[in-house]
Structure 1
C-alpha cells in the first residue's frame, strides 16, 4: 500500500454501512455480474443473525466483510447451490438452533489486499463459532483459476495440484492455509461464475472446543503468546536492510500466532556506523532521524502480520531538541503509543546527553493491560509497582547490556518484579559485537519470561529462557487467568498484604 493507514477496526456490520459495503463488494467481484447484495437483503440478514455479520474498516471505511448463517449439519453437508443455502437470498434457511456456521460471503477490497485483513475476518468467524458452541464452519469456496486449466485438468486434478502447491488458487490456497479441509467438489454451485466453471469446493473448519451440551465460554483471551526477539548486532548497509531483518523476525513469530513481538533496546544501533566519524553525541542524534520512518514501518508490519509490536527502543529528538530513549507500541489495529525510558544510565548521560522521560503509564491492548519499561527502569521497583496498581498483567522489558554484570542486574530485578507484582515479566536484549560503532562495542543477553513463584507456576519462576548470546526467538505462552487465581488464592498474597497504612507508592505527576 502506498497510503498511510492510521486505524484498522473489525466489528459487526450495521445497516448504515451499506453504501461502503456495496462499493467494496463491486470492486472485489468485478468478474461477476450483479456482484453485490441489495440493501433489502442486508437488512434481512441483519435481522436474522446480526452477530454473524462482520466488517473490517480501514480509517473508518468498510473495505471487507464476512457474512454468515447458522444451518443444520445435514443441510450444510448435502449437495446444494448458493441459492438453496441462502433460501433464494431470503435467508430463511438460518436456524438459530443449528450447529454449523455457514459462510455465505467474504471479500476484501483489492486495494487493501496483502495486509492479511482476510485472515482477521476468518479468525473472527472462528471466535464466533467457538463462542456460540457450533460444531464447525462450512462454506463452498470458488476456484477462480480453474478456467485457465479446464482444457487440460478435471476439477479433481486441479484441486490435487492446488493441494500439492503446484498451482496457486487465490481462494483455495488461502482457505487451506487457514486450516480448512476439503469435504467435496460441488457442481453448478454459483450461476454465472465463469472463472470457476460454476464449480465450488465444500470446505470445513472444525471447532475443537465444541461440546454437545452448551457451555458458557469465556470470550476474553486468557492464554497470550509472546514472541521475544534476541537480536544479533550486525553491520547494515541501509534502512531497507534493517527493515528486511526486522520483518523476518516479525514474520517468524507471527507464523506461530504470537500476540506480541518484542525487540530489544537500541537494536537499531548498527545504522549509526555511517556516523562513526562524529562524536558519540552527534552520531546518536543522526540516528534519531530514522525514528519516525521506523515507527511508520512497524505500524505497517503490525497490521500486515496481525501482531502487536513492541519496537524496543531508539533515540528520539524532541521538537525542543531534547534527546530521549523511546519506543513504540504498534498495535495490530493500526494505532500506536509511545513510551520512554524514565531512568537514564550514567553512560547514556555522559556520552549522549540523554534525558529521562516523565510519563508513567500502562497500555490497553486486545490482550489486556501491559506495561513497558526500558532496561535500567526495571531496577527501580517503585515504577513497576505503580504499573501493577493500574492493573498491569504483563511487563515487557527491552534491554541492552554490554557485560554479564549488567545483564545479571536486569535479569534478577525482572524476576523480582514478577514475584512482587504477581505478573509476568518478559525481557529481550541484543547479542554479539558491533566494532564500527563507538560506545556500542559488545553486548550480552539472554531473553526470558519470568513468573510469580507459586504452585501454578514454574518452581524457579522462569517460564522459559533463550540460549545466551545467540540470535534466536523465544516464543512463550502465558496464562493471565492464573494471575487472577494467584491474587485471590496464592500461598502468599503480596499485593493484598502490603501495609499501605505504613507506606505507599504514588505518582507525583
Structure 2
C-alpha cells in the first residue's frame, strides 16, 4: 500500500523566489505530515515563479516564460532538496523551459536520491501551439521509483490512448497526470481521459489540477479542476473506478487529496479481472475486420 498526494493547486501570487520557496516547502510538508510518499502538483505549477517578475513582465504571455528561465535552476534545486529532505517521490508540476531556442513544457520527477529524469509534454494544445509558441517534446519514459514503475502524461497527453498504451507496454502501473485547464469542459476532458486510460490499460491514474483565479498571469488567469485517483472498475476496485476525488468548487487555497493505493491489487486485475483490456488490446489489428 502506498499513500499518494495530489494537489488541487490554487494559483497564488508570490512576489519573490524566497516567498515561493517558503510556500512550496510549507505545502509539501503538509502532505508529508499526512503520510504521503508521492506528491503530485499540476501542469504549469512552476509558472507561478512568474510572480517574482515585475508587473510588466509577468502580465505579458511570452515575456513571462522568458523571464522565469533564470529561476529554473534554483527551482530545480529546491524541488530536488525537498524530495531528499523528506524521502519522498515528488513531481512538482511542469514548467516551461528553453531548449535549443525552443520552449518545452517539462515535468521533472525527483526521488529520495535526487532527480529521476523528466517527461516533456508531447502533444500541444491550440493555446500552447498558436499563442505561446511552446513545442512538443519527443519520447515517453517509464520511471523506476521506490514505490513502483510510473509514467507521466501532461494534461492533454492523457487524452490520447496510444501514449498511455506505450507506458503500459513498458510496465507502468501508475500514471501521473499534472493538468491545467481553464474551463469545466477542459477539466472533464482530462478527467475522462484519465479514467479511460485506467480502464484500457488496467492501471492507476493520479490527476492534479490547477484551480482559482490569477488575473496577474495571462497564462494562469482562470483554472478549474478536481484532484482524483482512478483505477479500472473491476474486482476489488471501486465500481465506478474512482478511488478518491477532491471537493468540487474553486477554492482560494491549495488542498491535498490524500489517498491510499494498493498497486498489487491493481496488478491482480491483469490476471483475475472480469475483463482483460490490458492483455486483449489488439497489437496487430486487421482493419479489414471493420469492413461492412
1:489 equivalenced with 2:272 (yes/no): yes
1:286 to 2:67 alignment: yes
Q: How is 1:87-106 mapped onto 2 (pairs within 5 angstroms)? A: none
Distance 1:321 1:300 in 2: 28
Distance 1:503 1:275 in 2: 58
Distance in structure 2 (CA, Å) of the matches to 1:481 and 1:385 = 19
**1:276 to partner: Cα distance:** 4.9
Aligned partner of residue 335 in structure 1, secondary structure: strand
- 1:503 and 1:424 map into 2 onto residues whose CA distance is 29
- The residue correspondences of 1:26-425 to structure 2 (distance < 5 A) are 223-273=1-51, 274-278=53-57, 279-318=60-99, 320-425=100-205
Pick one of 191, 203, 226 that aligns with 1:446: 226
Q: Indicate if the aligned counterparts of 1:299 and 1:336 stay in contact, CA closer than 8 A.
A: no
SS at match of 1:277: helix
Structure 1 residue 409: Cα displacement = 0.2
Question: CA separation in 1, counterparts of 2:43 and 2:172?
Answer: 21
- Shift in CA distance, 297/405, structure 1 to aligned 2, threshold 3 Å: same
1:317 deviates by: 0.6
Quote the Cα distance in structure 2 between the aligned partners of 1:284 and 1:275.
Answer: 13
The aligned counterpart of 2:263 is 480
Q: CA RMSD in A?
A: 1.5
Structure 1 moving runs of 4+ over 6 Å: none
Report Cα offsets for 1:365-402 as digits up to 9, x if no partner: 01110011110100111000000011000000001000
TM-score normalised by length of structure 2: 0.92
**1:235–1:335: structure 2 CA closer, same or farther, 3 Å change rule?**
closer
CA contact (8 A) 1:233 1:270 kept: yes
Instruction: Summarize the Cα distance change of 1:302–1:327 in structure 2 as closer, same or farther, 3 Å threshold.
Output: same
Q: How many residue pairs end up in the alignment?
A: 281
The answer to whether the 8 Å contact 2:38/2:89 transfers is: yes
Structure 2 residue runs without a partner (length 5+): 288-292
**Contact conserved, 1:250 with 1:305, CA < 8 A, in 2?**
no
Indicate the structure whose relative CO is greater, using CA pairs within 8 Å and at least 6 residues apart. 2
- Tell me how far apart the structure 1 counterparts of residues 111 and 256 of structure 2 sit (CA, whole Å): 20
Name the TM-score, length of structure 1 as normaliser: 0.54
Partners in 1 of 2:140 and 2:241 — Cα distance? 26
Rounded to whole Å, the distance in 2 between the matches of 1:439 and 1:387 is 29
Q: If you compute each CA radius of gyration, which structure gives the higher value, 1 or 2?
A: 1
**1:268 to partner: Cα distance:** 3.0
Structure 1 residue runs of 5 or longer lacking an equivalent are 1-222, 505-509
Distance (Å, rounded) in 1 between the aligned partners of 2:147 and 2:193 = 24
Q: Is the 8 A contact 2:11 2:220 kept in 1?
A: no
Q: What is the rounded CA distance, in whole Å, between the counterparts of 1:447 and 1:491 in structure 2? A: 27
The 8 Å contact of residues 228 and 246 in structure 2, kept in 1 or not, is answered as yes
Q: 1:248 to 1:503 in 2, by over 3 A?
A: farther
